[in-house]
Protein backbone atom coordinates (compact mmCIF):
# COMPACT_ATOMS: atom_id res chain seq x y z
CA UNK A 1 0.00 0.00 0.00
CA UNK A 2 1.37 3.47 -0.87
CA UNK A 3 2.02 5.93 1.91
CA UNK A 4 -0.88 8.12 0.78
CA UNK A 5 -3.27 5.17 0.88
CA UNK A 6 -1.72 4.01 4.14
CA UNK A 7 -2.28 7.37 5.86
CA UNK A 8 -5.82 7.71 4.54
CA UNK A 9 -6.78 4.14 5.47
CA UNK A 10 -5.22 4.38 8.92
CA UNK A 11 -6.90 7.71 9.75
CA UNK A 12 -10.28 6.54 8.43
CA UNK A 13 -9.94 3.58 10.78
CA UNK A 14 -9.01 5.94 13.65
CA UNK A 15 -11.88 8.29 12.79
CA UNK A 16 -14.27 7.10 15.54
CA UNK A 17 -11.56 7.46 18.18
CA UNK A 18 -10.44 10.90 16.96
CA UNK A 19 -14.04 12.13 16.60
CA UNK A 20 -14.77 10.97 20.15
CA UNK A 21 -11.68 12.77 21.47
CA UNK A 22 -12.61 16.04 19.75
CA UNK A 23 -16.19 15.72 20.96
CA UNK A 24 -15.09 14.92 24.52
CA UNK A 25 -12.74 17.93 24.66
CA UNK A 26 -15.49 20.12 23.17
CA UNK A 27 -17.90 18.92 25.88
CA UNK A 28 -15.37 19.64 28.64
CA UNK A 29 -13.95 23.04 27.71
CA UNK A 30 -11.30 24.58 29.95
CA UNK A 31 -9.40 27.84 29.52
CA UNK A 32 -5.64 28.28 29.11
CA UNK A 33 -3.32 26.57 31.64
CA UNK A 34 -6.41 24.88 33.15
CA UNK A 35 -7.01 22.48 30.22
CA UNK A 36 -6.24 19.41 32.34
CA UNK A 37 -9.09 17.34 30.88
CA UNK A 38 -7.92 17.68 27.27
CA UNK A 39 -4.26 17.22 28.18
CA UNK A 40 -5.01 14.00 30.05
CA UNK A 41 -7.13 12.61 27.19
CA UNK A 42 -4.36 13.32 24.70
CA UNK A 43 -1.63 11.90 26.96
CA UNK A 44 -3.65 8.67 27.35
CA UNK A 45 -4.48 8.41 23.63
CA UNK A 46 -0.85 8.95 22.59
CA UNK A 47 0.50 6.53 25.22
CA UNK A 48 -1.97 3.91 24.01
CA UNK A 49 -0.54 4.32 20.52
CA UNK A 50 2.96 3.67 21.87
CA UNK A 51 4.31 7.23 22.05
CA UNK A 52 6.87 8.19 24.70
CA UNK A 53 4.98 10.97 26.46
CA UNK A 54 6.52 13.68 28.59
CA UNK A 55 4.13 15.67 30.75
CA UNK A 56 4.27 18.15 32.33
CA UNK A 57 6.67 20.11 30.17
CA UNK A 58 8.43 23.43 30.91
CA UNK A 59 6.86 23.48 34.35
CA UNK A 60 3.37 23.63 32.86
CA UNK A 61 0.99 20.88 33.96
CA UNK A 62 -1.08 20.94 30.77
CA UNK A 63 1.85 21.00 28.31
CA UNK A 64 3.00 17.71 26.82
CA UNK A 65 5.43 16.28 24.31
CA UNK A 66 4.82 12.87 22.71
CA UNK A 67 7.55 11.28 20.63
CA UNK A 68 8.13 8.26 18.45
CA UNK A 69 11.12 7.06 16.46
CA UNK A 70 14.70 8.23 16.86
CA UNK A 71 17.32 10.40 15.24
CA UNK A 72 17.06 12.84 12.37
CA UNK A 73 15.03 14.29 10.84
CA UNK A 74 12.86 15.48 13.71
CA UNK A 75 9.45 16.69 12.60
CA UNK A 76 7.17 18.55 15.01
CA UNK A 77 3.39 18.78 14.93
CA UNK A 78 1.66 21.33 17.15
CA UNK A 79 -1.64 21.01 18.99
CA UNK A 80 -3.73 23.34 21.18
CA UNK A 81 -6.77 22.59 23.31
CA UNK A 82 -7.71 25.64 25.36
CA UNK A 83 -11.22 27.11 25.29
CA UNK A 84 -12.50 30.68 25.69
CA UNK A 85 -14.26 32.03 28.77
CA UNK A 86 -18.02 32.67 28.77
CA UNK A 87 -18.74 31.16 25.36
CA UNK A 88 -20.53 27.95 26.32
CA UNK A 89 -22.84 26.87 23.50
CA UNK A 90 -24.66 23.77 22.26
CA UNK A 91 -23.99 22.36 18.78
CA UNK A 92 -27.19 23.87 17.37
CA UNK A 93 -28.17 26.77 15.12
CA UNK A 94 -29.57 29.04 17.84
CA UNK A 95 -27.84 30.66 20.78
CA UNK A 96 -28.13 28.34 23.75
CA UNK A 97 -25.33 27.82 26.26
CA UNK A 98 -24.77 24.37 27.73
CA UNK A 99 -23.79 26.10 30.96
CA UNK A 100 -24.30 29.88 31.15
CA UNK A 101 -21.01 31.70 31.72
CA UNK A 102 -18.88 28.56 31.27
CA UNK A 103 -16.09 28.35 28.66
CA UNK A 104 -16.64 27.18 25.08
CA UNK A 105 -14.49 26.04 22.16
CA UNK A 106 -15.04 29.18 20.10
CA UNK A 107 -11.67 28.90 18.35
CA UNK A 108 -12.06 25.21 17.52
CA UNK A 109 -9.03 24.16 19.55
CA UNK A 110 -10.83 20.91 20.44
CA UNK A 111 -10.21 20.05 16.76
CA UNK A 112 -6.78 21.67 16.61
CA UNK A 113 -5.22 19.46 19.26
CA UNK A 114 -6.78 16.22 18.07
CA UNK A 115 -5.95 16.73 14.37
CA UNK A 116 -2.27 17.13 15.27
CA UNK A 117 -2.33 14.07 17.52
CA UNK A 118 -4.05 12.04 14.78
CA UNK A 119 -1.44 13.18 12.28
CA UNK A 120 1.39 12.16 14.62
CA UNK A 121 -0.23 8.73 15.11
CA UNK A 122 -0.48 8.22 11.35
CA UNK A 123 3.16 9.27 10.87
CA UNK A 124 4.26 6.80 13.57
CA UNK A 125 2.31 3.98 11.93
CA UNK A 126 3.76 4.71 8.46
CA UNK A 127 7.30 5.00 9.87
CA UNK A 128 6.88 1.52 11.33
CA UNK A 129 5.23 -0.16 8.35
CA UNK A 130 7.50 1.46 5.73
CA UNK A 131 10.74 1.51 7.74
CA UNK A 132 11.06 5.30 7.62
CA UNK A 133 13.76 6.74 9.89
CA UNK A 134 13.54 9.86 12.04
CA UNK A 135 11.47 11.22 14.88
CA UNK A 136 7.93 12.53 15.04
CA UNK A 137 7.20 14.80 17.98
CA UNK A 138 3.75 16.06 18.97
CA UNK A 139 3.62 19.20 21.12
CA UNK A 140 0.54 19.72 23.27
CA UNK A 141 0.63 23.49 23.75
CA UNK A 142 -1.58 25.12 26.39
CA UNK A 143 -2.97 28.65 26.56
CA UNK A 144 -2.78 29.79 22.94
CA UNK A 145 -5.62 32.23 23.47
CA UNK A 146 -3.51 34.29 25.86
CA UNK A 147 -0.47 33.89 23.58
CA UNK A 148 1.54 32.26 26.28
CA UNK A 149 1.91 28.48 26.14
CA UNK A 150 4.40 28.12 23.29
CA UNK A 151 6.43 31.15 24.37
CA UNK A 152 7.03 29.66 27.83
CA UNK A 153 7.83 26.32 26.19
CA UNK A 154 10.18 28.08 23.73
CA UNK A 155 11.96 29.85 26.59
CA UNK A 156 12.73 26.43 28.12
CA UNK A 157 14.09 25.11 24.81
CA UNK A 158 11.23 22.67 24.15
CA UNK A 159 11.23 23.39 20.38
CA UNK A 160 14.96 23.08 19.83
CA UNK A 161 16.35 20.49 17.42
CA UNK A 162 13.38 20.42 15.04
CA UNK A 163 13.88 20.16 11.29
CA UNK A 164 10.33 21.12 10.39
CA UNK A 165 7.08 22.03 12.14
CA UNK A 166 3.47 21.68 10.97
CA UNK A 167 0.31 23.12 12.39
CA UNK A 168 -3.08 24.53 11.41
CA UNK A 169 -6.02 26.65 12.54
CA UNK A 170 -9.80 26.33 12.08
CA UNK A 171 -11.36 28.87 9.72
CA UNK A 172 -13.98 28.85 6.95
CA UNK A 173 -11.61 27.92 4.13
CA UNK A 174 -9.28 25.06 3.19
CA UNK A 175 -6.09 26.89 2.36
CA UNK A 176 -2.58 27.74 3.52
CA UNK A 177 -1.94 30.25 6.27
CA UNK A 178 0.81 31.73 4.15
CA UNK A 179 0.71 35.23 5.66
CA UNK A 180 2.83 36.48 8.51
CA UNK A 181 1.19 37.62 11.74
CA UNK A 182 1.80 40.44 14.18
CA UNK A 183 4.33 40.37 17.00
CA UNK A 184 2.90 41.49 20.32
CA UNK A 185 3.59 42.83 23.80
CA UNK A 186 0.81 42.53 26.38
CA UNK A 187 1.53 44.55 29.51
CA UNK A 188 -0.14 46.16 32.49
CA UNK A 189 0.69 49.66 33.71
CA UNK A 190 -0.11 50.16 37.40
CA UNK A 191 -0.07 53.62 38.97
CA UNK A 192 0.17 54.27 42.68
CA UNK A 193 -0.89 57.59 44.25
CA UNK A 194 -2.45 58.65 47.55
CA UNK A 195 -6.05 58.52 48.74
CA UNK A 196 -7.85 61.53 50.15
CA UNK A 197 -11.44 62.72 50.54
CA UNK A 198 -12.28 63.85 47.03
CA UNK A 199 -14.40 66.79 48.30
CA UNK A 200 -12.89 67.91 51.60
CA UNK A 201 -9.18 67.38 50.90
CA UNK A 202 -8.58 66.82 47.16
CA UNK A 203 -5.27 68.72 47.44
CA UNK A 204 -3.95 65.88 49.63
CA UNK A 205 -4.71 63.22 47.03
CA UNK A 206 -2.63 62.00 44.11
CA UNK A 207 -4.89 60.25 41.64
CA UNK A 208 -3.69 57.03 40.03
CA UNK A 209 -6.78 57.17 37.82
CA UNK A 210 -5.66 60.56 36.46
CA UNK A 211 -2.41 58.87 35.47
CA UNK A 212 -4.32 56.11 33.66
CA UNK A 213 -6.46 58.64 31.80
CA UNK A 214 -3.51 60.85 30.87
CA UNK A 215 -1.64 57.75 29.65
CA UNK A 216 -4.57 56.88 27.43
CA UNK A 217 -4.76 60.44 26.07
CA UNK A 218 -1.03 60.39 25.38
CA UNK A 219 -1.28 57.04 23.61
CA UNK A 220 -4.15 58.37 21.51
CA UNK A 221 -1.79 61.11 20.29
CA UNK A 222 1.01 58.59 19.84
CA UNK A 223 -1.11 56.54 17.42
CA UNK A 224 -0.73 59.25 14.76
CA UNK A 225 3.03 58.79 14.84
CA UNK A 226 3.46 55.05 14.62
CA UNK A 227 3.36 52.87 11.52
CA UNK A 228 -0.22 52.38 10.28
CA UNK A 229 0.09 48.58 10.57
CA UNK A 230 0.56 48.84 14.34
CA UNK A 231 -2.35 48.16 16.67
CA UNK A 232 -2.52 49.55 20.21
CA UNK A 233 -5.52 48.47 22.26
CA UNK A 234 -6.27 48.69 25.94
CA UNK A 235 -8.71 48.25 28.77
CA UNK A 236 -8.84 49.78 32.22
CA UNK A 237 -8.61 46.89 34.65
CA UNK A 238 -8.87 49.00 37.79
CA UNK A 239 -10.11 52.57 38.09
CA UNK A 240 -10.61 53.13 41.78
CA UNK A 241 -13.10 52.28 44.52
CA UNK A 242 -15.62 55.13 44.73
CA UNK A 243 -15.91 58.66 43.30
CA UNK A 244 -15.49 60.29 46.72
CA UNK A 245 -12.09 58.66 47.24
CA UNK A 246 -9.10 59.89 45.23
CA UNK A 247 -7.93 56.57 43.71
CA UNK A 248 -4.56 55.51 45.06
CA UNK A 249 -4.37 52.59 42.65
CA UNK A 250 -5.38 52.28 39.01
CA UNK A 251 -4.28 50.01 36.19
CA UNK A 252 -4.53 49.96 32.38
CA UNK A 253 -3.70 46.91 30.24
CA UNK A 254 -2.25 47.39 26.74
CA UNK A 255 -1.58 45.21 23.73
CA UNK A 256 0.92 46.60 21.24
CA UNK A 257 1.06 44.75 17.92
CA UNK A 258 3.12 45.34 14.79
CA UNK A 259 4.41 43.26 11.87
CA UNK A 260 7.93 42.91 13.32
CA UNK A 261 9.21 42.25 16.82
CA UNK A 262 11.60 45.22 16.60
CA UNK A 263 8.69 47.55 15.78
CA UNK A 264 6.73 46.27 18.79
CA UNK A 265 9.70 46.90 21.05
CA UNK A 266 10.10 50.47 19.79
CA UNK A 267 6.40 51.33 20.16
CA UNK A 268 6.31 49.64 23.57
CA UNK A 269 9.14 51.90 24.77
CA UNK A 270 7.23 54.96 23.53
CA UNK A 271 4.06 53.85 25.35
CA UNK A 272 6.15 53.47 28.50
CA UNK A 273 7.46 57.00 28.01
CA UNK A 274 3.89 58.28 27.79
CA UNK A 275 3.08 56.44 31.04
CA UNK A 276 6.22 57.83 32.72
CA UNK A 277 5.10 61.31 31.65
CA UNK A 278 1.64 60.68 33.09
CA UNK A 279 3.19 59.55 36.37
CA UNK A 280 5.29 62.72 36.47
CA UNK A 281 2.27 64.90 35.74
CA UNK A 282 0.20 63.30 38.47
CA UNK A 283 2.92 62.78 41.07
CA UNK A 284 2.24 59.05 41.09
CA UNK A 285 4.56 56.07 40.62
CA UNK A 286 4.46 53.53 37.83
CA UNK A 287 4.92 49.72 37.77
CA UNK A 288 5.21 47.85 34.49
CA UNK A 289 4.28 44.17 34.25
CA UNK A 290 4.75 42.12 31.07
CA UNK A 291 1.84 39.67 30.76
CA UNK A 292 2.71 38.03 27.46
CA UNK A 293 4.77 38.65 24.35
CA UNK A 294 5.34 36.87 21.08
CA UNK A 295 7.16 37.07 17.78
CA UNK A 296 5.66 37.48 14.33
CA UNK A 297 4.93 34.28 12.41
CA UNK A 298 7.39 33.58 9.60
CA UNK A 299 5.99 30.98 7.18
CA UNK A 300 8.32 28.56 5.46
CA UNK A 301 7.29 28.59 1.81
CA UNK A 302 9.09 25.36 0.96
CA UNK A 303 7.13 23.32 3.50
CA UNK A 304 3.97 25.24 2.61
CA UNK A 305 4.17 24.10 -0.99
CA UNK A 306 4.48 20.47 0.11
CA UNK A 307 1.55 20.97 2.47
CA UNK A 308 -0.66 22.46 -0.25
CA UNK A 309 0.17 19.57 -2.57
CA UNK A 310 -0.92 17.12 0.11
CA UNK A 311 -4.10 19.05 0.92
CA UNK A 312 -5.06 18.68 -2.74
CA UNK A 313 -4.09 15.03 -2.77
CA UNK A 314 -6.31 14.36 0.26
CA UNK A 315 -9.14 16.50 -1.09
CA UNK A 316 -11.43 18.85 0.85
CA UNK A 317 -13.60 17.68 3.76
CA UNK A 318 -16.56 15.70 2.37
CA UNK A 319 -19.38 17.83 3.77
CA UNK A 320 -22.85 16.32 3.32
CA UNK A 321 -26.35 17.81 3.13
CA UNK A 322 -26.73 17.81 6.89
CA UNK A 323 -23.52 19.84 7.28
CA UNK A 324 -24.62 22.31 4.61
CA UNK A 325 -28.04 22.69 6.25
CA UNK A 326 -26.46 23.43 9.64
CA UNK A 327 -24.00 25.82 8.00
CA UNK A 328 -26.85 27.69 6.27
CA UNK A 329 -28.80 27.92 9.50
CA UNK A 330 -25.76 29.18 11.46
CA UNK A 331 -24.87 31.68 8.77
CA UNK A 332 -28.45 33.00 8.83
CA UNK A 333 -27.97 34.02 12.49
CA UNK A 334 -25.13 36.42 11.63
CA UNK A 335 -25.94 40.13 11.71
CA UNK A 336 -26.61 41.58 8.28
CA UNK A 337 -23.42 42.30 6.36
CA UNK A 338 -21.13 40.35 8.72
CA UNK A 339 -20.23 37.65 6.20
CA UNK A 340 -19.51 40.34 3.58
CA UNK A 341 -17.35 42.28 6.06
CA UNK A 342 -15.43 39.12 6.92
CA UNK A 343 -14.79 38.45 3.25
CA UNK A 344 -13.69 42.03 2.68
CA UNK A 345 -11.30 41.91 5.62
CA UNK A 346 -9.66 38.81 4.14
CA UNK A 347 -9.78 40.29 0.63
CA UNK A 348 -11.71 37.33 -0.85
CA UNK A 349 -14.97 36.68 -2.62
CA UNK A 350 -17.62 34.07 -1.76
CA UNK A 351 -17.25 32.27 -5.10
CA UNK A 352 -13.57 31.56 -4.38
CA UNK A 353 -14.13 30.25 -0.85
CA UNK A 354 -17.51 28.53 -1.20
CA UNK A 355 -20.78 29.44 0.47
CA UNK A 356 -21.78 28.40 3.12
CA UNK A 357 -18.97 25.79 3.28
CA UNK A 358 -15.65 25.57 1.47
CA UNK A 359 -15.85 22.55 -0.83
CA UNK A 360 -12.41 22.88 -2.43
CA UNK A 361 -8.78 23.57 -1.59
CA UNK A 362 -7.97 27.21 -2.28
CA UNK A 363 -4.39 27.96 -3.46
CA UNK A 364 -4.14 31.55 -2.30
CA UNK A 365 -6.64 33.33 -0.16
CA UNK A 366 -6.63 37.14 0.03
CA UNK A 367 -4.77 38.43 3.07
CA UNK A 368 -3.74 34.90 4.10
CA UNK A 369 -1.53 34.78 0.98
CA UNK A 370 2.25 34.86 1.04
CA UNK A 371 3.69 38.33 1.64
CA UNK A 372 0.63 39.57 3.59
CA UNK A 373 0.64 40.32 7.31
CA UNK A 374 -2.34 39.37 9.45
CA UNK A 375 -3.01 41.96 12.19
CA UNK A 376 -3.65 39.15 14.70
CA UNK A 377 -0.95 37.42 16.74
CA UNK A 378 -0.21 33.77 17.46
CA UNK A 379 2.37 32.07 19.64
CA UNK A 380 3.12 29.81 16.66
CA UNK A 381 5.20 32.88 15.72
CA UNK A 382 7.83 31.94 18.29
CA UNK A 383 8.04 28.36 17.04
CA UNK A 384 8.48 29.67 13.48
CA UNK A 385 11.53 31.65 14.67
CA UNK A 386 13.11 28.44 15.99
CA UNK A 387 12.40 25.94 13.18
CA UNK A 388 10.97 26.02 9.62
CA UNK A 389 7.20 26.09 10.12
CA UNK A 390 4.14 25.84 7.87
CA UNK A 391 0.47 26.04 8.71
CA UNK A 392 -2.83 25.48 6.98
CA UNK A 393 -6.45 26.33 7.68
CA UNK A 394 -9.50 24.13 7.23
CA UNK A 395 -13.18 24.88 6.86
CA UNK A 396 -14.56 24.19 10.34
CA UNK A 397 -17.34 26.78 10.18
CA UNK A 398 -19.60 28.50 7.67
CA UNK A 399 -18.41 31.42 5.56
CA UNK A 400 -18.31 34.63 7.58
CA UNK A 401 -18.71 33.03 11.02
CA UNK A 402 -16.13 34.79 13.17
CA UNK A 403 -13.89 32.88 15.55
CA UNK A 404 -14.72 33.53 19.21
CA UNK A 405 -18.49 33.56 18.52
CA UNK A 406 -21.21 31.15 19.69
CA UNK A 407 -21.68 30.09 16.07
CA UNK A 408 -18.02 29.01 15.97
CA UNK A 409 -18.53 26.89 19.12
CA UNK A 410 -21.59 25.22 17.56
CA UNK A 411 -19.73 24.50 14.36
CA UNK A 412 -16.59 23.19 16.09
CA UNK A 413 -18.81 20.74 17.98
CA UNK A 414 -20.59 19.51 14.86
CA UNK A 415 -19.79 17.13 12.03
CA UNK A 416 -18.47 20.12 10.04
CA UNK A 417 -15.57 20.59 12.44
CA UNK A 418 -14.83 16.88 12.75
CA UNK A 419 -14.74 16.31 8.98
CA UNK A 420 -12.35 19.23 8.60
CA UNK A 421 -10.23 17.80 11.42
CA UNK A 422 -9.68 14.52 9.58
CA UNK A 423 -8.76 16.36 6.35
CA UNK A 424 -6.14 18.25 8.39
CA UNK A 425 -4.78 15.13 10.11
CA UNK A 426 -4.25 13.45 6.72
CA UNK A 427 -2.66 16.54 5.14
CA UNK A 428 -0.27 17.16 8.07
CA UNK A 429 0.71 13.48 8.29
CA UNK A 430 1.53 13.24 4.58
CA UNK A 431 3.59 16.43 4.72
CA UNK A 432 5.51 15.23 7.79
CA UNK A 433 6.25 11.97 5.95
CA UNK A 434 7.41 13.92 2.87
CA UNK A 435 9.82 15.86 5.05
CA UNK A 436 11.11 12.64 6.58
CA UNK A 437 11.77 11.00 3.24
CA UNK A 438 12.84 13.87 1.01
CA UNK A 439 16.27 15.24 1.91
CA UNK A 440 16.11 17.85 -0.84
CA UNK A 441 12.86 19.24 0.55
CA UNK A 442 14.30 19.35 4.06
CA UNK A 443 17.51 21.05 2.90
CA UNK A 444 15.58 23.63 0.89
CA UNK A 445 13.34 24.37 3.89
CA UNK A 446 16.40 24.76 6.14
CA UNK A 447 18.15 27.06 3.63
CA UNK A 448 15.05 29.24 3.38
CA UNK A 449 14.83 29.37 7.17
CA UNK A 450 18.51 30.33 7.55
CA UNK A 451 18.13 33.10 4.97
CA UNK A 452 15.09 34.48 6.81
CA UNK A 453 16.86 34.38 10.17
CA UNK A 454 20.03 35.95 8.79
CA UNK A 455 22.16 34.13 11.34
CA UNK A 456 20.35 35.51 14.38
CA UNK A 457 19.41 33.24 17.27
CA UNK A 458 15.91 33.12 18.74
CA UNK A 459 15.41 35.52 21.62
CA UNK A 460 12.50 34.83 23.91
CA UNK A 461 10.39 38.01 24.27
CA UNK A 462 9.20 37.34 27.83
CA UNK A 463 11.34 38.08 30.91
CA UNK A 464 13.50 35.19 32.13
CA UNK A 465 11.85 35.23 35.56
CA UNK A 466 8.21 35.44 34.38
CA UNK A 467 6.31 32.40 35.61
CA UNK A 468 3.43 30.83 33.67
CA UNK A 469 0.18 31.76 35.47
CA UNK A 470 -0.75 28.15 36.07
CA UNK A 471 -1.83 28.39 39.70
ZN1 LIG B 1 -7.33 29.82 17.92
- d(CA 380, ligand 1 centre) in Å: 11
Residue 127 · residue 10 · CB < 8 Å: no
- d(CA 107, ligand 1 centre) in Å: 4
What phi-psi label fits residue 309: left (phi over 0), alpha (psi between -120 and 50 degrees) or beta? alpha
Res 338: pLDDT: 84
Residue 194 is given by DSSP the state B
Residue 399 CA from chain centroid, whole number: 20
Neighbours of 465 (CB within 10 A): 5
113-124 burial string, b = 16+ CB within 10 Å, else e? bbbbbbbbbbbb
The whole-angstrom separation of Cα 407 and Cα 413 is 10
- d(CA 114, ligand 1 centre) in Å: 14
DSSP H helical ranges for 131-226: 149-155, 208-222
The whole-angstrom separation of Cα 211 and Cα 189 is 10
Q: How many H helices and E strands in the chain?
A: 14, 13
Domains and CATH numbers, the chain: 3-181+296-453 (3.40.630.10), 183-294 (3.30.70.360)
The whole-angstrom separation of Cα 124 and Cα 66 is 11
The whole-angstrom separation of Cα 35 and Cα 48 is 20
- DSSP E strands: which ranges in 204-336? 231-238, 249-258, 285-294
Nearest to 438 by CA among 428, 430, 426, 427: 430
User: pTM of the entire structure?
Assistant: 0.96
Res 344: pLDDT: 86
Mean pLDDT, contiguous 10-residue spans, the chain (471 residues): 96 98 98 97 98 97 98 98 97 96 97 98 98 98 93 98 98 96 98 97 98 98 98 98 98 98 98 98 98 97 98 98 97 89 84 92 92 94 98 96 95 98 98 98 98 94 92 62
- d(CA 279, ligand 1 centre) in Å: 37
Helix orientation angle between 3-27 and 415-437, rounded to the nearest 10 degrees = 140
Nearest to 412 by CA among 174, 104, 86: 104
- d(CA 168, ligand 1 centre) in Å: 9
- d(CA 112, ligand 1 centre) in Å: 8
- d(CA 389, ligand 1 centre) in Å: 17
- d(CA 94, ligand 1 centre) in Å: 22
Res 278: pLDDT: 98
- d(CA 258, ligand 1 centre) in Å: 19
Residue 407 · residue 333 · CB < 8 Å: yes
Amino acid sequence: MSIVDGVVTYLEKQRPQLDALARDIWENPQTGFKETYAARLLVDALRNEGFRVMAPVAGIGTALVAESGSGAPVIGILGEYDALPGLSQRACAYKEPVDQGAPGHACGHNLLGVAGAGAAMAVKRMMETHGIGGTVRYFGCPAEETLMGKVFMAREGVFEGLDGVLTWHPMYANTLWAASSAALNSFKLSFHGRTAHAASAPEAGRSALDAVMLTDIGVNYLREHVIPEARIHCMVTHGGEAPNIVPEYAQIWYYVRAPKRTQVEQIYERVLNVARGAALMTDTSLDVEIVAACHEYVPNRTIQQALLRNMKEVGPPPFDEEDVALARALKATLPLGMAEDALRSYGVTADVVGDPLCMNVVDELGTLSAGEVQPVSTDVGDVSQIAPTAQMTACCMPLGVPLHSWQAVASAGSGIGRKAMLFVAKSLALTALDLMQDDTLLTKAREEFETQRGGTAYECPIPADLKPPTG
